Amino acid sequence: MAVIHKLAITQFRNLNNQYIELNKQLNVFVASNAQGKTSLVEAVYYLGHNRSFKTKALKELIQLNHQQFQLAAQVDDYRLKLEKSKQKTLISLNQNRLKNSSELSKLLPIQIITPDKGFVVNGTPKNKRSYLDWGVFHLKPDCLSDFKKYHKTLKNINFLLVQQKQQELDYWFLEIAHLSSKINQARQDYIEQLKQTNSAELMESLSQSFCLIDTFDYQFKSGWPKEVDAFNADSIYQYLLKSKAFLMKAKYLNYGPHKASLDFLLNDQQECFLSRGEQKTLSIVFWLTQVSLLVNNNTYPIVLIDDISSELDQSKIQTILNYLQQLKVQILMTDIGINTLRIDPENTSIFKIEKGVITQG
């Protein structure tokens, strides 16, 4: 069960030197604009992913006039630490250095709900893949090595295509065909499990407050053309061989898991036709379904919700909180006020943020 008990943030955005002890259930951070709400959420996200959801530029994250930032947390019984400067990244678990960040992600699974990352329904394929693969990874961590090998293989193929090295391509085509079919299967299996989760009490509890009517469906798009059986390595391989001349011209492999997506449908209507309110609502249903599925499989993600009332009214926020609390996951939520929320003071800590200083109470 992932719970952040203690959190220390040093020189990250406008948070200079902050230490807080968190409630194992609900934590609400209240502040007016530009005080540090998103910075806090981004810091926790960064610790779990070794990247930001807002920027790739490290210099935006390191506090002005400093050379590095440091994030540290006690998550369950583990002490995680991440130090980052232009020259180096240091990640440690109980003071032992970790070579890569996948161990961090495993110990600190984080689901984020924020307008800054964009909604998943009618979102970009990249954003859809990012949410999808987050779930696949946490349910089936072994998949990570296939994803890594896939991206290396893709790089090799694109290099050979640019260099016009025809003869060497076949070997890598075979390799990518195998990896693709494995990734496609893992993604498809995960989606099937999500759909089963979806049909449960989640839709029921959300439907009243969100006025949702019956069928919310999603379909996996593998990233390969329709004529290819995306779960069959040989079918992919034969397609690649057949398309070799075309690919040599294009100099880039434009098909495969790196182009996969999800199509969302509400009552058979495609996502692009839905209103912004419907897109937002369904995105939240999708994210909560992911959390629910992981909890069913004994992984308790920490849920970050930034700037919630700019996107949702109080009754919807209440429904989301009730649902998440019933799942017993830890929540870190930011808002500009908590006027009308019914929160149980026993299981809630409220913090204020003013000019980057976080205080409890």
Q: Terminus-to-terminus CA distance in the chain, angstroms?
A: 26
- How are beta strands 261-266 and 269-270 bridged, if at all? antiparallel
Closest CA to 180 of 156, 149, 136, 157: 149
Q: Which is nearer to ligand ATP, 70 or 207 (CB)?
A: 70
User: Which among Mg ion, ligand ATP, none contacts residue 64 (Cβ within 5 to 8 A by kind)?
Assistant: ligand ATP
Q: Which of residues 75-114 bind ligand ATP (CB under 6 A)?
A: none
What is the CB-side half-sphere exposure of residue 277 using CA atoms within 13 A? 7
3-state secondary structure of 348: strand
The H or E element that residue 137 is part of is helix 125-139
Q: Which is nearer to ligand ATP, 27 or 35 (CB)?
A: 35
Binding of ligand ATP at residue 33 (CB under 6 A)? yes
Q: How far is CA 179 from CA 24, 100, 139, 257, in A?
A: 39, 21, 18, 9
User: Which among ligand ATP, Mg ion, none contacts residue 139 (Cβ within 5 to 8 A by kind)?
Assistant: none
Q: How many residues of this chain interact with ligand ATP, rule: CB under 6 A? A: 15
Binding mask 43-82 for ligand ATP (x = CB under 6 A): -----------------x-xxx------------------
Binding of ligand ATP at residue 14 (CB under 6 A)? yes
Is the Cβ–Cβ distance between 45 and 348 less than 8 Å? no
Binding mask 295-324 for ligand ATP (x = CB under 6 A): ------------x-----------------
One residue of 11, 18, 38, 111 binding Mg ion per CB under 5 A: 38
User: Which among Mg ion, ligand ATP, none contacts residue 279 (Cβ within 5 to 8 A by kind)?
Assistant: none
One residue of 34, 200, 250, 272 binding ligand ATP per CB under 6 A: 34
Q: Shortest gap between Cβ of 180 and ligand ATP (angstroms)?
A: 39
Distance between CA atoms of residues 354 and 27, nearest Å: 16
Q: Shortest gap between Cβ of 321 and ligand ATP (angstroms)?
A: 19
Q: What share of the chain is helix, strand, coil (3-state, %, to 5)?
A: 45, 25, 30
Q: Shortest gap between Cβ of 257 and ligand ATP (angstroms)?
A: 33
Radius of gyration of the chain (CA): 22
Q: Shortest gap between Cβ of 34 and ligand ATP (angstroms)?
A: 4
Cα–chain center distance at 301: 11
One residue of 10, 26, 36, 186 binding ligand ATP per CB under 6 A: 36
Binding of ligand ATP at residue 271 (CB under 6 A)? no
- Tell me which DSSP letter residue 62 carries: B
Sign of CA dihedral 2, 45, 331, 94: positive
Closest CA to 41 of 83, 2, 7: 7
Helices (H) and strands (E) in the chain, counts: 11, 15
Binding of Mg ion at residue 35 (CB under 5 A)? no
Q: Which is nearer to ligand ATP, 62 or 320 (CB)?
A: 62
Q: Which residues pair with 359 in a beta bridge?
A: 352
One residue of 27, 35, 180, 197 binding ligand ATP per CB under 6 A: 35
Q: Which is nearer to Mg ion, 38 or 198 (CB)?
A: 38
Binding site for ligand ATP (CB under 6 A): 13-14, 31, 33-39, 60, 62-64, 307
Binding site for Mg ion (CB under 5 A): 37-38
